Amino acid sequence: RGYGSSELQLGVALKQLILTKQIKREDFILQTKVNPMKNPADFRKALEQSFQLLQVDYIDLFAFHGVNYPETLVYMFGEDKIPKPERKEGDPETCYSIIQEYVKAGKIRHIGFSTHGSTDLILETINKNVFDYANIHYHFVGSYTASGGGHDGQGNRDCVKLMNEKNMGVFIISPFDKGGCLFIPSRKFRKLTLPELEPMTFESQRIWNHHHLFPGQHIHTYTAGAARPSDLDQPAVAAYWHATQNAQVVEKVQRVSARLLKVREEALGKEWADTWWKGVPKAAQNKHHVEHNQVVWQYNCLLAFGLYHFAKARYHSFENNKKNWKDDKTDDENINSLQPGWGYVPGLPLKPDVDYSDDFVNVPEANKARVVEAEKFVYEWLATKTTVQEDPKDEHDAYKKAKLEEKEIPKDWQDAYDMRTWRDFPDRERRLYS
């Protein structure tokens, strides 16, 4: 429901297919997600609405959606954040105890969670030992909001490893969008994946064959957003190749991965490529609420792979947050007013006149100047800027108008092609960026 009317559309379509005996309920695996809520009664109501819209007797996979900050653990499990095996008389109702009811009744088969949170929060949630699977960001170019996380800066790879150790399902969120806008890749990135694979096909095969790149670390599935049948062409081709010529595909993935990593190291320098993330804070870890980890990651994506469209879209999310940030409110009041969206896309944009050195106290001395340089580079290329021009013919705004400043994009950063899905929701303003 948070992404349009998919539950309603799927419910009608699946019901018709089942009634006309074209499929049986056991022929497909159905997942839906509901945000954990402060009031369990509201959560129960939202869950019931999902069942009504989907028109099914049971859901195979249910995920607590948006486990993005520590408070969501309280909403799921209670004040102590400890899941109870079962709710006893006198115990307060929680979102998790409600899901236990549905599991016991046979209406939910498996419990998981989805997250845009930090690697540390995801690991903490996995270690609750009550989830069968998790939806996480983990892509070749980074781990989105968790980029630079983990013990070695590899983002959510630590989470993939831990989930495998606990025999959990590993579900990757949005690899073609948050994994680099691969449906509208830069010329440079596409050149680097060819001739073996197109960018989307490469990411598909990297996911399914992850255990060949990192032994013992299996990834089981991913999401592919589609608004029309042709949006599934690339994933379908990738799935066919995976099933029919996997040995050859694995060799291609290994070659492309090695080539991309080599170019990344050449563009960034080995020392920086290995250590850029050290001490670089997230929005929740600094007084300016800037996602420094994402900003520096965007710099790396630009310099290494020319992923301009992707980096621009990600930076634009910070600017959207700023539009709704009220100077007459406290920081906490602003962040609360931006929830739940802030949990998915946290952070404010850079201000060129602000000294962020206090945010970098934990950055190694050898990296501090490069971090500052990286953020200046990102601001120069990604921040939306306007100039105010005098125009005596314009009768509005005291004869002034704002004009968007545009830089000439390097050829290698330009879009190789545009295979984006239909981007508009009927009830929302058209989005400028993916």
Q: Let me know if residue 396 belongs to a domain.
A: no
| pLDDT score at 3 | 67
* Least confident stretch, 50-59, 164-173, 305-314, 414-423: 414-423
Residue 122 confidence (pLDDT)? 98
Report whether pLDDT(277) > 90: yes
Is the pLDDT at 399 greater than 90, yes or no?
no
The span from the CA of 364 to the CA of 261, in Å, is 23
- Helix orientation angle between 246-268 and 199-208, rounded to the nearest 10 degrees: 110
Secondary-structure breakdown of the chain: helix, strand, coil percentages, each rounded to the nearest 5: 45, 10, 45
Percent of the chain's residues with pLDDT above 90: 85
Q: Is residue 370 part of a domain?
A: yes
Query: What pLDDT sits at residue 1?
Result: 63
pLDDT score for 365: 98
- pLDDT confidence bin for 396, thresholds 50/70/90: very low
| Longest Cα separation, the chain | 75
Q: What is the pLDDT of residues 2-20, one digit of tens each?
A: 666 889 989 999 999 999 9
Look-up: residue for tokens 């994506």? Answer: 301
Q: How far apart are CA 422 and CA 4, in angstroms?
A: 12
Q: How confident is the model at residue 106 (pLDDT cuts 50, 70, 90)?
A: very high
Beta bridge partners of 139: 142
Looking at the whole model, is its pTM more than 0.85? yes
Nearest to 338 by CA among 353, 322, 352: 322
User: What is the model's pLDDT at position 424?
Assistant: 61
Query: What would the pLDDT profile of 243-266 be if each residue is shown by its tens digit?
Result: 999 999 999 999 999 999 999 999
The predicted structure's pLDDT at residue 340: 87
- What single DSSP character describes residue 415? B
Residues in the chain: 434
Task: State percent of the chain over pLDDT 70.
Answer: 91
Q: Per the domain annotation, does 133 fall within a domain?
A: no
pLDDT at 226: 83
Structural domain for 278, as ranges:
274-386
Residue 361 lies in a domain: yes
Domain contains 326: yes
- The pLDDT mean for the chain works out to 92
Residues 372-376, mean pLDDT to the nearest whole number: 98
For 386, list phi and psi in degrees, rounded to 5.
-130, 155
* pLDDT on residue 15: 96
| Distance of alpha carbon 58 from alpha carbon 107, whole angstroms | 4
Segment 350-371 shows an average pLDDT of 97
Nearest to 83, CA basis, from 68, 67, 69, 99: 99
- Give one DSSP letter per residue of 307-370, joined into a string: -HHHHHHHHHHHHHHHHT--TTS-HHHHHHHTTTHHHHS------TT---GGGGTTS-HHHHHH
Q: What is the pLDDT, as a whole number, of residue 12?
A: 96
Number of folded domains that form the chain: 1
**Contacts (Cβ under 8 Å, ≥6 apart) of 167:** none
Q: Is residue 222 part of a domain?
A: no
Over residues 72-85, the pLDDT tens digits come to: 999 999 999 999 99
In a domain, 152, yes or no: no
Q: How confident is the model at residue 205 (pLDDT cuts 50, 70, 90)?
A: very high
pLDDT at 308: 97
Query: Rounded CA gap, 197 and 193, in Å?
Result: 6
**What is the reported pLDDT for 227?**
80
Contact 118, 144 (CB under 8 A): no
**What does the block give as tokens for 103?**
């599991």
In a domain, 100, yes or no: no
Lowest mean pLDDT among 9-18, 332-341, 390-399: 390-399
Q: What are phi and psi of 15, to 5 degrees?
A: -60, -45
d(CA 150, CA 126): 14
pLDDT band at residue 397 under the 50/70/90 scheme: very low
Is pLDDT at 279 greater than 80 in this prediction?
A: yes
Q: In 357-387, which positions are buried (b, 16+ CB within 10 angstroms) versus exposed (e)?
A: eebbeebeeebeebbeebbebbbebbbeeee
